[in-house]
């Protein structure tokens, strides 16, 4: 890898008539090899080249391979040249576009000597190696201060979240309702799949496959780059076999909101970084995928697990945030600009865009313990809070994202400002539930807000406040209640402007990562369209247009299938990637240790990263749901429900 793009190049050195010594790098990551950069020079005896040899290696530990060519030059002297390659825009090197000259390469150093028999050399070899043993190495051993060398880590990867049809909890809690996800196989077609997982493996150029050995793992030392690396990926798909004359349904059904999870098992090994046989301040890690198992559990059970804090992934729909439509009830300690450009409403407008110039990031002045808070309008159950940081686009300092560090989140029934604006006072004040996030926040930080009995914390006011002096910048703060959402807060319609309908009338999903839901705004009494994250794979249009749920104990059911018996598939790519090894790091005691830049490579498994949904009855993906109406008898008394007590909904995926 001569240019730092994470992919190895082919280096070619030769004498080009009339132009002298020529060194070219070629990109060969695809079947068609294309020239990348070139260096040419015929000065200082480089117009004639004999016995030419070339090698490439990282001589200065910057993660880039330097190119060294050795040859007998035009004066019969032995000469070495050292050349650096650069990442540049690919310019096709042809006789028409670039007949001669240097493109994207630079001569760094030369050595030339004709003394002591170094003239007329005919057999020249070039080998770049660690002569003085100062390369960065990774030795299979516990990190400094730890005793743990290896551990098996089980990392849950979410593949689907299924929410049962909406129901009124106080009325229909004892009624029948369900949701299901899976696949149906029948007739000749059974090779389509419902869900697939992808995984990728990153390892440095000198580190990687040598770690996993047959049988026992032996202690040994191997070279490891401090920067750069390569990555390869694959897609793992669960498929069926051909069946005839029968139908086989495989999937998960639950009577509450639930998740489908792939538990991926990894064997992780720790390597202490060494230089000149002395430990340095850093470690490397290598995790091997050992396969996965598919399981399902309810969403409440997922949130209640107390053993997965490092692996817990929040599952919440953006449109269910309690801050939605409450932006006018947000306040903050100061304004960096005007209310329109930095005001508190920008952190509750439903827009998670972290670029300040796009006008959806609240900002305070640089002050002691700046804060932002919102009034939810009433005391409500709060199960999780998601804080969206700004990004570094347009930042005039080293990192604006790092300003969100060591911050408090306070939940209370009354305005915390009536008590104090000092976080040291608030965190111990009666009636306030304090949460704290140590260190620098990432782009998105989600806090699970359950009490010791795994029940949601109740509160009306939510405040985000820095512990120290600085600027508070928030792109969005989402506050989520229980996993159950009442029907009046469900979307009544969904659409995706990026989606379309093909000539046969079938819906073709969009791919831009956004779609719109239509929600009732209780503040205005109107229906409003709200943009939400995700790709709308199925819009449920006209499925339950004339069906409404009311009294009578009848159960309304629906199922996602196909039309005209034609199987159709949709493949989407997302950017969700889980980092493996967090739990491993904590138990190994190496979190406080600095990791050399690029020195730690991890195995990542994607969450729906390459997800193929086949919508078909014959063989493919299947979604079902059902909900029973209002009960005829409540507390042993017959209830006559008013005709107005009915509702409808639109399923979507």
Which of the four pLDDT bands, split at 50, 70 and 90, describes residue 417? very high
pLDDT score of 286 more than 90: no
Q: Which segment of 38-42, 44-48, 248-252, 328-332 scores lowest on mean pLDDT?
A: 248-252
Which of the four pLDDT bands, split at 50, 70 and 90, describes residue 276? confident
Structure tokens at 111: 């050595």
Q: 164-216, pLDDT tens digit by residue?
A: 778 888 888 877 776 766 544 333 222 232 333 333 333 332 232 222 222 23
- Residue 67 CA to residue 59 CA, distance in Å, equals 9
What's the confidence (pLDDT) of residue 574? 30
Alpha-helical regions (H) of 178-293? none
Sorted by sequence, the CB contacts under 8 Å of residue 411 that are 6+ apart come out as: 382, 432, 433, 435, 449, 457, 459, 461, 462
- Residue 625 CA to residue 547 CA, distance in Å, equals 14
Most confident of the following: 126-135, 265-274, 499-508: 126-135
Which of the four pLDDT bands, split at 50, 70 and 90, describes residue 558? low
Higher local confidence (pLDDT), 532 or 61: 532
Share of the chain above pLDDT 90, in %: 33
Q: 619-641, pLDDT tens digit by residue?
A: 345 567 778 888 888 888 888 88
What's the confidence (pLDDT) of residue 166? 83
pLDDT score of 586 more than 70: no
Structure tokens at 467: 């512990």
Higher local confidence (pLDDT), 554 or 425: 425
Smallest Cα–Cα separation from 520: which of 490, 480, 495?
Answer: 490
Q: Which segment of 166-170, 177-181, 445-449, 599-603 scores lowest on mean pLDDT?
A: 599-603
The β-bridge partners of 72 are 50, 78
Provide the sign of the torsion angle of the four alpha carbons 51, 55, 60, 62, taken in this order. positive
| Cβ atoms < 10 Å from Cβ of 72 | 22
Q: Which segment of 53-57, 177-181, 276-280, 397-401 scores lowest on mean pLDDT?
A: 177-181
Higher local confidence (pLDDT), 484 or 423: 423
Torsions phi, psi for 437 (to 5 deg): -110, 110
- Residue 236 CA to residue 293 CA, distance in Å, equals 12
3-state secondary structure 597-635: CCCCCCEEEECCCEEEEEECCCEEEEEEEEEECECCEEC
Burial class, 439, CB count within 10 angstroms (exposed 0-12 / middle 13-18 / buried 19+): exposed
Q: Which segment of 42-46, 96-100, 520-524, 599-603 scores lowest on mean pLDDT?
A: 599-603
Share of the chain above pLDDT 70, in %: 71
Torsions phi, psi for 321 (to 5 deg): -65, 135
Q: What's the average model confidence in pLDDT over 384-411? A: 91
Higher local confidence (pLDDT), 253 or 7: 7
The β-bridge partners of 436 are 408
Distances (CA, A) of 262 to 158, 236, 270, 291, 294: 6, 11, 25, 10, 5
Higher local confidence (pLDDT), 350 or 172: 350
pLDDT score of 251 more than 50: yes
Which of the four pLDDT bands, split at 50, 70 and 90, describes residue 536? confident
pLDDT score of 152 more than 60: yes
Q: Which segment of 123-127, 236-240, 321-325, 489-493 scores lowest on mean pLDDT?
A: 236-240
Give the mean pLDDT of the chain.
75
- Residue 599 CA to residue 580 CA, distance in Å, equals 15
pLDDT score of 606 more than 50: no
Smallest Cα–Cα separation from 519: which of 486, 554, 566?
Answer: 486
What's the confidence (pLDDT) of residue 567? 32
Q: What's the average model confidence in pLDDT over 381-385? A: 93
Q: What's the average model confidence in pLDDT over 76-102? A: 72
What's the confidence (pLDDT) of residue 429? 94
What's the confidence (pLDDT) of residue 609? 28
Q: What's the average model confidence in pLDDT over 128-147? A: 80
What's the confidence (pLDDT) of residue 564? 31
pLDDT score of 479 more than 90: yes
Smallest Cα–Cα separation from 403: which of 345, 359, 352, 469?
Answer: 469
- Residue 341 CA to residue 353 CA, distance in Å, equals 13
Smallest Cα–Cα separation from 457: which of 438, 437, 479?
Answer: 479
Q: What's the average model confidence in pLDDT over 55-84? A: 91
Higher local confidence (pLDDT), 272 or 580: 272
Judge contact between 561 and 624, C-beta under 8 A. no
């Amino acid at each position: 890898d001569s240019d730092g793009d994470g992919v190895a190049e082919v280096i070619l050195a030769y004498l080009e008539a009339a132009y002298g010594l020529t060194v070219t790098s070629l990109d060969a990551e695809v079947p068609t090899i294309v020239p990348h950069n070139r260096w040419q020079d015929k000065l200082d005896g480089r117009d004639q080249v004999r016995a030419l040899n070339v090698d490439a290696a990282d001589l200065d530990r910057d993660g880039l391979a330097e190119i060294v060519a050795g040859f007998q030059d035009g004066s019969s002297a032995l000469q070495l040249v050292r050349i650096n390659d650069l990442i540049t825009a690919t310019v096709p090197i042809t006789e028409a576009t670039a007949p001669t000259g240097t493109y994207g390469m630079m001569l760094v150093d030369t050595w030339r000597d004709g003394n002591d028999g170094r003239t007329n050399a005919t057999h020249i070899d070039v080998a770049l190696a660690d002569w003085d043993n100062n390369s960065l190495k990774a030795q299979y051993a516990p990190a400094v201060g730890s005793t743990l060398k290896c551990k098996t880590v089980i990392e849950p990867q979410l593949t689907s979240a299924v929410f049962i049809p909406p129901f009124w909890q106080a009325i229909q809690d004892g009624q029948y309702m369900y949701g299901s996800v899976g696949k149906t196989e029948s007739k000749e077609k059974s090779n389509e799949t419902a869900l697939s997982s992808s995984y990728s493996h990153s390892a440095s150029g000198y580190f990687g496959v040598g770690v996993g050995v047959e049988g026992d793992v032996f202690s040994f030392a191997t070279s490891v780059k401090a920067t750069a690396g390569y990555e390869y990926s694959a897609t793992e798909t669960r498929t069926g076999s051909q069946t005839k004359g029968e139908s086989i349904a495989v999937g998960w059904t639950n009577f509450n909101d639930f998740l489908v999870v792939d538990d991926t098992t990894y064997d992780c090994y720790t390597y202490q970084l060494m230089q000149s046989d002395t430990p340095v301040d850093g470690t490397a890690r290598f995790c091997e995928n050992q396969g996965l198992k598919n399981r399902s559990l309810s969403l409440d059970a997922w949130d209640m697990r107390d053993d997965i804090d490092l692996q817990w992934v929040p599952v919440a729909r953006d449109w269910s945030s309690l801050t939605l439509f409450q932006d006018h009830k947000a306040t903050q300690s100061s304004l960096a600009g005007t209310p329109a450009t930095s005001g508190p409403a920008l952190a509750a407008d439903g827009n998670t865009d972290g670029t300040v110039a796009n006008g959806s990031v609240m900002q305070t002045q640089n002050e002691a313990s700046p804060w932002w808070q919102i009034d939810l309008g009433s005391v409500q159950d709060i199960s999780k809070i998601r804080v969206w940081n700004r990004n570094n686009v347009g930042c005039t300092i080293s990192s604006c994202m790092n300003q969100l560090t060591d911050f408090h989140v306070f939940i209370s029934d009354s305005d915390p400002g009536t008590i104090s604006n000092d976080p040291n006072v608030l965190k111990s004040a009666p009636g306030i539930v304090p949460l704290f996030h140590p260190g620098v926040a990432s782009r998105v930080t989600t806090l699970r807000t359950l009490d010791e009995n795994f029940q949601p914390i109740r509160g009306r006011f939510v405040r985000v406040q820095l512990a120290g002096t600085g600027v508070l910048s928030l792109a969005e703060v989402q506050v989520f209640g229980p996993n159950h959402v009442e029907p009046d807060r469900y979307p009544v319609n969904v659409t995706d402007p990026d989606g379309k309908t093909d000539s046969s009338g079938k819906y073709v999903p969009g791919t831009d990562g956004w779609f719109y839901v239509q929600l009732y705004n209780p503040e205005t009494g109107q229906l409003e369209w709200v943009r939400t994250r995700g790709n709308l794979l199925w819009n449920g249009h006209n499925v339950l247009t004339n069906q409404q749920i009311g009294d009578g104990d009848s159960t309304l059911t629906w199922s996602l299938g196909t039309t005209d018996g034609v199987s159709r598939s949709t493949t989407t790519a997302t950017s969700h990637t889980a980092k493996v090894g967090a739990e491993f790091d904590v138990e190994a005691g190496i979190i406080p240790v600095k990791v050399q830049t690029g020195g730690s490579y991890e195995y990542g498994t994607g969450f729906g990263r390459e997800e193929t949904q086949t919508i078909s009855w014959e063989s493919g993906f299947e979604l079902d749901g059902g909900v029973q109406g209002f009960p005829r008898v409540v507390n042993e008394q017959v209830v006559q429900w008013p005709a107005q007590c009915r509702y409808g909904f639109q399923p979507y995926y």
